[in-house]
């Protein structure tokens, strides 16, 4: 076996580095030796074929931001006191390693290991609603975060079945969250604030594509209302601080995309599931009878990529039933619980649109070199307390954001980003301008 591999290596080397006559004589001798060991040759071919079934890739981001506003936890309660302050930050938002394997006969495995902010998913944060207390936030139990891990059986392109940890494709960002699928240095702020992002659940999925249509339908455990918050709405509800995911409630999600118009994709996605009682904390009291905390999300998004122009956009609406009861329930939770102990809105909204043009397309030399340079503009708005029921409406939870910047692709897999953004809050508060630079990659290694 080792001898046969050595022969193959010598054969490939000689055919590229020696003269034709010498290489031909050596080739004949090596082929004669290999024919005498045909079983070894077949073994080598089998190993090469198996290696081709292995898929390795990933993406990563490094960013620097200089914020022209204060990061003090009291900046929304005493805005005048903290006007004019500023601070800077380095960050590694996401590094993901993808590993997949095609077993054959329609069976395959896919996995993504994610490192957020350069470490494990535990951090110390200052809570703006807890008198500035330092609290340890644990988003998920364990030291390594699996973004995805599932087995798939493809019966035909119109029908695939997946089981395992998967991304819930509700909203534009969850469905397309790699750094080459949005212009900004960071993911769109609205969806990244009010919904889990990247939202992943252990689920059973049926999906496929027929003609110009693609679909996904998912069955999964529900969210945990104990972890909802005022600014983040349901964002932390998918996470579990335990080594397992509680499944007292179940949920459904679906997505349909259409590609009928060249270069244009139109998508609609939905989520429906109960969230109350999906926790270890006792909820058996009679006063909780009939409380479900049903979360409903409806989203529309689009993407256009043609004629050197890229445009994307989305609009999301979310509703939580029994929000007043859940707010009171969470506020009364013990201080050492995983709850944010905050008031929660019954309705949340967010929308965003961006467009960029590749100005390097005007240069045949740069185009032939495979380089691209997009100048883009972006607008976002979101309100995590758009509709409230018997709770206080916090003005700083509603904001608009405008951005402008560039995306330079020196090669197809690497992106260098820069942008200026400004968060526009109500006149009571200070606006939040910032300058950000980032570099990212998205690619397959084998």
Same structural domain for residues 91 and 5? no
Residues 39 and 94 grouped into a single domain = no
For residue 361, what are the CA distances in angstroms to 34, 375, 411?
51, 12, 14
The answer to whether residues 294 and 325 belong to one domain is: yes
Based on the fold, state whether residues 45 and 80 are members of the same structural domain: no
Flag residues of the chain having pLDDT under 70.
Answer: 1-37, 39-41, 43-47, 119-144
Shared domain for 204 and 219, answered yes or no, is yes
Three-state SS sequence of 377-396:
EEEEEEEEEEECCCCCCCHH
- For residue 182, cis peptide bond before it (omega within 30 degrees of 0): no
Burial (CB count within 10 angstroms: exposed 0-12, middle 13-18, buried 19+), residue 150: buried
Q: Which residues pair with 66 in a beta bridge?
A: 88, 435
CA distance 438 to 442: 13
**CB-neighbour burial class of residue 19 (10 A; exposed 0-12, middle 13-18, buried 19+):** exposed
Token pair belonging to 203: 């689920």
Burial (0-12, 13-18, 19+ Cβ within 10 Å), 205: buried
Q: What domain range is 202 assigned to?
A: 58-444
CA 330 remoteness from chain centre: 28
d(C-alpha 156, C-alpha 369), whole Å = 38
59 close to 182: Cβ distance less than 8 angstroms: no
Secondary structure (3-state) at 212: coil
Residues 37 and 66 in one domain: no
Residue 65 shares a structural domain with residue 48: no
Tokens for 193?
């604030």
CA atoms within 13 Å, Cβ hemisphere of 166: 26
Residue 224 has what pLDDT?
94
Return the CATH number at 425: 2.40.160.10
Rounded Cα distance between 185 and 407, Å, is: 9
Q: What are the two backbone dihedrals, phi and then psi, of residue 391, each rounded to the nearest 5 degrees?
A: -125, 165
Nearest to 170 by CA among 295, 271, 304: 271
Q: What value, to the nearest 5°, has the Cα angle with vertex 177 and ends 174 and 183? A: 130
Whole-angstrom distance, CA of residue 330 vs CA of residue 391: 13
Q: Which residues pair with 256 in a beta bridge?
A: 215, 268
Structural domain count, the chain: 2
- Same-domain status, 223 and 204: yes
Q: How far is Cα 270 from Cα 256, in angstroms, rounded to an integer?
A: 9
CA–CA distance, 140 with 125 (Å, rounded to integer): 15
Residue where a domain stops, chosen among 36, 52, 68: 52
C-beta of residue 201 within 8 angstroms of C-beta of residue 239: no
Q: How many CB atoms lie within 10 A of CB 393?
A: 14
18 and 69 housed in the same domain: no
Give the single-character DSSP code of 222: P
**Is residue 246 domain-shared with residue 366, that is, in the same domain?**
yes
How many CA atoms lie within 13 Å of 87's alpha carbon, on the beta-carbon side? Answer: 8
The pLDDT assigned to 95 comes to 92
- For residues 78 and 131, membership in a common domain is answered with yes
List, for residues 255-299, the tens digit of each pLDDT value. 999 999 999 999 999 999 999 998 888 888 889 999 999 999 999
Residues 48 and 67 in one domain: no
145-198: pLDDT as tens digits: 889 999 999 999 999 999 999 999 999 999 999 999 999 999 999 999 999 988
Q: What stretch of H or E contains 143? A: none
Contacts of 386 (CB under 8 A, 6+ apart): 345, 347, 348, 349, 398
């Amino acid at each position: 076996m080792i001898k046969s591999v050595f022969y193959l290596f010598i054969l490939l080397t000689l055919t590229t580095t020696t003269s034709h006559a010498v290489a031909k004589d050596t080739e004949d001798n090596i082929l004669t030796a290999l024919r005498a060991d045909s079983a070894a040759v077949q073994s080598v071919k089998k190993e090469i074929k198996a290696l081709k079934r292995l898929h390795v890739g990933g993406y990563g981001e490094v960013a620097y931001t200089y914020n022209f506003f204060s990061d003090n936890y009291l900046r929304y309660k005493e805005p005048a006191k903290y006007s004019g302050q500023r601070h800077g930050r380095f960050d590694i938002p996401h590094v993901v390693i993808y590993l997949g394997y095609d077993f054959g006969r329609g069976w395959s495995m896919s996995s993504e290991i994610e490192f957020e902010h350069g470490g494990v998913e535990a951090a110390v944060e200052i809570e703006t609603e807890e008198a500035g207390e330092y609290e340890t936030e644990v988003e998920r139990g364990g030291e390594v975060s699996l973004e995805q891990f599932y087995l798939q059986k493809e019966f035909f392109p119109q029908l695939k079945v997946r089981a395992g940890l998967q991304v819930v494709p509700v909203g534009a960002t969850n469905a397309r969250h790699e750094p080459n699928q949005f212009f900004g240095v960071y993911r769109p702020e609205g969806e990244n604030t009010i919904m889990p992002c990247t939202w992943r659940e252990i689920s059973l999925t049926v999906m496929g594509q027929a003609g110009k249509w693609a679909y996904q339908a998912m069955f999964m455990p529900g969210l945990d209302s104990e972890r909802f918050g005022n600014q983040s709405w349901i964002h932390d509800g998918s996470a579990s601080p335990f080594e397992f995911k509680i499944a007292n409630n179940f949920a459904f999600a679906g997505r349909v995309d259409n590609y009928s118009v060249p270069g244009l994709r139109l998508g609609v996605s939905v989520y429906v599931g109960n969230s109350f009682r999906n926790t270890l904390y006792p909820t058996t009291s009679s006063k909780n009878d009939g409380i479900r905390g049903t979360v409903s999300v409806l989203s529309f998004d689009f993407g256009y990529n043609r004629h050197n122009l890229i445009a994307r956009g989305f609009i999301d609406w979310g509703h939580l039933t029994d929000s007043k009861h859940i707010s009171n329930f969470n506020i009364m939770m013990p201080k050492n619980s995983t709850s944010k102990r905050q008031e929660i809105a019954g309705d949340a909204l967010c929308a965003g649109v961006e467009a960029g043009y590749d100005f390097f397309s005007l240069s045949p030399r740069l185009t032939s070199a495979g380089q691209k340079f997009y100048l883009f503009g972006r607008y976002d708005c979101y309100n995590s307390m758009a509709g409230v029921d018997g709770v206080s409406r916090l003005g700083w939870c509603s904001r608009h954001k405008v951005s402008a910047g560039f995306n330079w692709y020196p090669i197809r897999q690497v992106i260098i980003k820069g942008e200026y953004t400004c968060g526009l809050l109500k006149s009571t508060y200070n606006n939040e301008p910032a300058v950000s630079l980032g570099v990212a990659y998205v690619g397959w290694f084998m």
